[in-house]
A and B are shown apart, each in its own frame.
Chain A
């Protein structure tokens, strides 16, 4: 089976049963932004804006290349962003302008 066949036959999340290395029993506490990201996910679910299965699919839709480079909550927030754009709840311009404003706040305060 060549590399492209492997990508087609197994979506990025579908790893059950594959061989793997020894389990590393690490357990890090969440960063403050990671905890906010988790709370955001729960609130979006309560508000019927984005449910758990949409979140999982949104992460999978990032594709194996992006998934391999992002940490757990980095995948979540990028997936939320993509889903909110697709649902036309947010626009790319709104996110870009708000990101610039957030950064400017920090630069001004630093």
Chain B
């Protein structure tokens, strides 16, 4: 399948430029304006939702993971009901989706994907990276996860099971990565700063600056 996800031209500015916007840009404006004129949506809602989109970053997920590392009771609640536990942090969910948190252990490594489209734990991670939405990752993650992980520089020993979880519109996943060794003296805030988006997708482990320097 041909794929233009990464090579389509971005040759228009929506605002401020003198260039006329592209066809799809104008289609978006036309549809939104028509829906506002019909009273079905409000301009304020779109503006507010853009702010919400901008406010969701992987730092939210990082805080959740760090809390789970330092607080066993919270970890248990998080694994039992990911959505309810994240809501304790003030994370807002936008529809009826479930959030299932998958814990990496010494014997199991989790990886998340959405083979059909781009379902992703947006409330805790924000928007997915382009490669998560593009066909190579979606196609291959379920059939050759070890090769996919190797492309991210992650080598999982053969005796560690890899579990790939395929998201849907109603069920989203978040990986709870393993706490790196040598972080026993870290504060919760310092731990949160180590946790990256890619670690919560499951394509890389969480590492410390010391570990990265020795690679």
Interface residues of A (CB under 8 A from B): 12-28, 30-33, 35-40, 42-47, 49, 51-53, 56, 59, 64, 67-74, 77-78, 80-81, 84, 89-90, 94-95, 98-99, 101-103, 106-107, 110
Contacts and interface: CB of A to CB of B under 8 A. Distances in A.
A26 B30 CA distance: 30
Interface residues of B, number: 69
Nearest to B3: A68
Contacts of A31: 10, 12, 14, 25
A17 B131 CA distance: 16
Contact of A16 (B20, B130, B139): B139
B149 to A, nearest CB: 10
A106 B137 CA distance: 39
Contacts of A94: 34
Interface stretch (B43-51, B81-89, B186-194): B43-51
B116 A33 contact: no
A32 B15 contact: yes
Contacts of A28: 6, 10, 130
A77 B21 CA distance: 15
Contacts, number: 193
A38 B34 contact: no
Contacts of B49: 39, 42-43
Nearest to B7: A71
A41 to B, nearest CB: 9
A18 B118 CA distance: 17
A12 B1 contact: yes
A86 B18 CA distance: 35
B1 A64 contact: yes
B18 A38 contact: no
B30 A95 contact: yes
A22 B140 CA distance: 9
B8 A102 contact: no
Contacts of B97: 52
B4 A68 contact: yes
Contact of B129 (A19, A27, A44, A45): A27
B98 interface: no
Given A40-B28, A46-B94, A68 B136 contact: no
B27 A78 contact: yes
B30 A20 contact: no
Given A15-B139, A77-B27, A24 B134 contact: yes
Contact of A84 (B22, B31, B134, B170): B31
Given A26-B131, A59-B117, A71 B31 contact: no
Chain A CB count within 10 A is highest, among B31, B50, B95, B152, for B31
A7 to B, nearest CB: 11
A36 to B, nearest CB: 6
B133 interface: yes
A70 B31 contact: no
A21 B136 contact: yes
